[in-house]
Amino acid sequence: MHCFYFWILKRRTEKSDCRLLCPGLAATLDFRKNGYSSGSIQPVMHSKSTRRMHKKILPIDLQYRSRIIAFLFALCLFLVTGQSHADAKFDAIRQQGLEAFQERNFTLARDCFQRAYKLQPYNDDIRFRLAMSLIYQDPDAPREAAHQFGKKGSYRDDLQKAVQLLRESVEVQERIEIRSPATGLRHFHLGVGYWYMGRPDLALDSFRRSFRSDFTRTDALYNRIVILKQMGKDPEARVATREYLRITSIEDLDD
């Protein structure tokens, strides 16, 4: 009898305790009664206030992410559009410079290639054409635009800039291939730049390198003969002349 009353009291106590417990803990007790261990994953029961909180937070989170996505898309579109505009501007300036160069208007070509080089200083073709324009331009041509090279200068200043650009261009080409027509061409015009600057010693070396890079550049050998005669080195000039005649006669036989 006492055992029966004790069992009823225990049942009432469990029911009253369950009413006082939070829904999540009550669910945990129910799962434990049904055989789930304490290490099992238990369901979480949310109250109405918690569910209302999630309903308010979720739309804000989605809206925030939507704004970020829209911003990133607009940024990418802006960058692509800006790059396309810059490329179109560069192509127009480059084409104008090429046309002026073909017409041997080296002063106009100089101005165009200076603008193009400012847009793409890594472009070796523009670097090379700018250097040639600086060398072969009219020495008395006006120099109104300062561009990236600084204040207005003289033709000698332009020659120094051209030599600097050509040396950089030679380094770029030699990293690709030491002996090639492109490398020989750059050495040749570098020799002309040194020659115009009054450095025949450096010009001789550049013309020698030009021929060694491209054996078809017999014009480099001819320029060596002219410079050696100007320097009064007649024995060296005669040796260079024999070499030039021997190579050009071989070319004539090949033709």
Q: What is the pLDDT of residue 152?
A: 64
> Of 59, 53, 27, whose CA–CA distance to 40 is shortest?
27
**CA dihedral sign, ordered 239, 241, 247, 253:** negative
Tokens, residue 192: 């002309």
Report how far apart, in Å, the C-alpha atoms of 232 and of each of 2, 206, 229 are. 137, 19, 5
> Of 128, 139, 213, 118, whose CA–CA distance to 163 is shortest?
128
Distance CA 11, CA 9 (A): 5
Work out the average pLDDT over 141-167: 79
Q: Please indicate whether residue 78 or residue 6 has the higher confidence score (pLDDT).
A: 78
Report whether pLDDT(12) > 80. Answer: no
State how far Cα 72 lies from the chain centre: 22
Q: Give the pLDDT band (50/70/90) at residue 189.
A: very high
Report whether pLDDT(45) > 80. Answer: no
Report whether pLDDT(74) > 90. Answer: no
Distance CA 110, CA 129 (A): 8
pLDDT digits (tens, 9 = 90+) for 206-215: 999 999 999 9
Contacts of 229 (CB under 8 A, 6+ apart): 237
Provide the 8-state DSSP code for 8: H
Q: Please indicate whether residue 115 or residue 82 has the higher confidence score (pLDDT).
A: 115
Q: What is the pLDDT of residue 77?
A: 63
Q: What is the pLDDT of residue 158?
A: 95
Q: What is the pLDDT of residue 66?
A: 73
Report whether pLDDT(108) > 90. Answer: yes
Q: Please indicate whether residue 136 or residue 5 has the higher confidence score (pLDDT).
A: 136
Strongest mean pLDDT among 11-25, 44-58, 80-94, 145-159? 80-94
Q: Give the pLDDT band (50/70/90) at residue 205.
A: very high
Work out the average pLDDT over 15-44: 44
Q: Please indicate whether residue 88 or residue 213 has the higher confidence score (pLDDT).
A: 213
Q: Give the pLDDT band (50/70/90) at residue 169.
A: very high
Mean pLDDT (the chain, rounded): 78
Report how far apart, in Å, the C-alpha atoms of 201 and of each of 186, 189, 213, 227, 229 are. 17, 15, 19, 9, 13
Classify 198 in phi/psi space as left (phi over 0), alpha (psi -120 to 50) or beta.
Answer: left
Distance CA 253, CA 255 (A): 5
The answer to which of 85-94, 132-141, 187-196, 239-248 has the lowest mean pLDDT is 85-94
